[in-house]
Structure 1
Amino acid sequence: MHWPDAQVPGKSNREVRAETWRAMEELYEKGLCKSIGVSNFLISHLEQLKEDCVITPHVNQVEYHPFQRPQELVDYCRSRDIVFEGYCPLAKGEALTHPTIIQLAKKYGRTPAQICIRWSIQNGIVTIPKSTKAERIEENCKVFDFTIAEDDVEILNGMHDGRHVSWDPSHIV
């Protein structure tokens, strides 16, 4: 399920989410898919699914980058065996021009994109970088042969300011 907001006349978001999730549970139980998941779900949305349905989502895909690090949601998902998958690791390019990230890129002899992706991976996040350019896709893959020092990871962790560059699901009931 890509988004917690259903916008179905006469039904609450919660009702539609539960109906949709039950249909996904049926597909899973029939063996037609190996896993089922959600995207952009916050703790409140996940708690409602838990109350209304049977199967816990296997994955929750959420915006994750140095400016948007929802650690409480990450911890919640981990404690319930929900894989936390982060999209927009470059903050739609905003992170690539941030002075701190540029400085760390120079320190490690990497690109700002590689710093953001590696940071996300080191935080235990399944990370989904996106590009349509072959050279950037290749660059984004070259993040497994270095490690960011813990004090530098903490600097990046401290950049969280709650900024969304994609959708903000916090207003969805």
Structure 2
Amino acid sequence: MGLPRKLGDTVTLNNGVEIPWVGLGVWKVKQGGEVEEAVQTAIRCGYRSIDTAKIYGNEEGVGRGIRAAGVPREELFITTKVWNDDQGYDKTLNAIDESLARLGLDYVDLYLIHWPGKDRYVDTWRALEKIQQEGKARAIGVCNFNIHHLEELLRRTDTIPAVNQVEYHPRLAQKELLAFCRDKGIQLEAWSPLMQGAILDEPVIKKVAERHGKNPAQVVLRWDLQNGVVTIPKSVKEHRIRSNADLFDFELSRNEMDQIDALNQNRRVGPDPDELLF
């Protein structure tokens, strides 16, 4: 797997679909003008991947932002997710149609189970397999699945997830999960890659950033890429959207990667998937 050299470079998923290494996340971005402007700005800056979800409440705005940007649909990579209330075979089949209607799209590029929850994700996954077969999603995957969730899914279903999107940052390096996913051909993708900003004052990261003439966010996002992890930082400010994509003119040394790896504390800012049971 070669390192990306520019914004828009992609990595090939296990079913042959290509996902950009860097995308825009829109969690907590307000429906309406805020999300529409963020999406348009990102696309204007060269982003081609936009990640939303039903529970974010902004799929309509994402769709409007996409249309206003004027880029051909086939050049974009759009992700959304089935929420917990819609898990189960029949409800998931209905949920994708509702998401597509809100987005104003005929298909998404990636459809994900948002959380494993307690006991419905296998039936939900079978619905995702059908959704992919029907062409409503080019690739299917999961979010927040630990190794035991993935093992259960692989044991009981026929399709290996293309992506596992999880909380991932230097305080939660998820080495075992990353290795497991790599072994199974599942692409790891980072949500909250900047730990909601909490990691940016870390002295080790600031020192690495100074050495490269970069900011701490760029160093962390570069660490993602060099670990083979797709990343989707969220911002609504144009200068940060641009800055978060300026990752391709420097490379972290092995020693710098090790120093950042050593910051791991298995510390989350979001829920533990084994505790969020519903």
TM normalised by structure 2 equals 0.57
Query: Residue 101 of structure 2 aligns with which residue?
Result: none
TM normalised by structure 1 equals 0.91
Q: How does 1:39-58 map to 2 (within 5 A)?
A: 39-58=143-162
Q: How does 1:59-138 map to 2 (within 5 A)?
A: 59-138=163-242
- Does residue 144 (structure 1) correspond to residue 144 (structure 2)? The answer is no
How far apart are residue 31 of structure 1 and its match? 2.6
1:99-151: CA deviation from partner (whole Å, max 9, x where unpaired): 11111111111101001001111111111111111100100000111001110
How far apart are residue 167 of structure 1 and its match? 2.2
* Counterpart pick for 1:154 among 235, 243, 258: 258
Segments of 5+ residues of structure 1 without an aligned counterpart are 6-12
- Does residue 3 (structure 1) correspond to residue 115 (structure 2)? The answer is yes
- Distance in 1 of aligned mates of 2:140 and 2:254: 34
- CA gap of 1:43–1:172, structure 2 versus 1, over 3 A, is farther
Give the ranges of 4+ consecutive aligned residues of structure 1 lying more than 4 Å apart after TM superposition: none
Q: How many residues align?
A: 165
Please tell me the residue identity of whatever aligns with 2:165. Q
Aligned to 1:85, what secondary structure does the other structure show? Answer: strand
Greater helix content: 1
1:62-111: CA deviation from partner (whole Å, max 9, x where unpaired): 11111000011111111111111111111110111111111111111110
How far apart are residue 32 of structure 1 and its match? 2.5
Segments of 5+ residues of structure 2 without an aligned counterpart are 1-112
RMSD across aligned positions (CA): 1.2
Please tell me the residue identity of whatever aligns with 2:154. K
Aligned to 2:142, what secondary structure does the other structure show? Answer: strand
- Distance in 2 of aligned mates of 1:80 and 1:24: 19
Report sequence identity in percent.
41
How far apart are residue 172 of structure 1 and its match? 5.4
1:12-33: CA deviation from partner (whole Å, max 9, x where unpaired): x23x111111111111122322
Which structure carries more relative contact order (alpha carbon 8 Å, separation 6+)? 1
- Distance in 2 of aligned mates of 1:161 and 1:121: 20
Greater strand content: 2
Please tell me the residue identity of whatever aligns with 1:139. S
Query: Residue 167 of structure 1 aligns with which residue?
Result: 271
Please tell me the residue identity of whatever aligns with 1:123. N
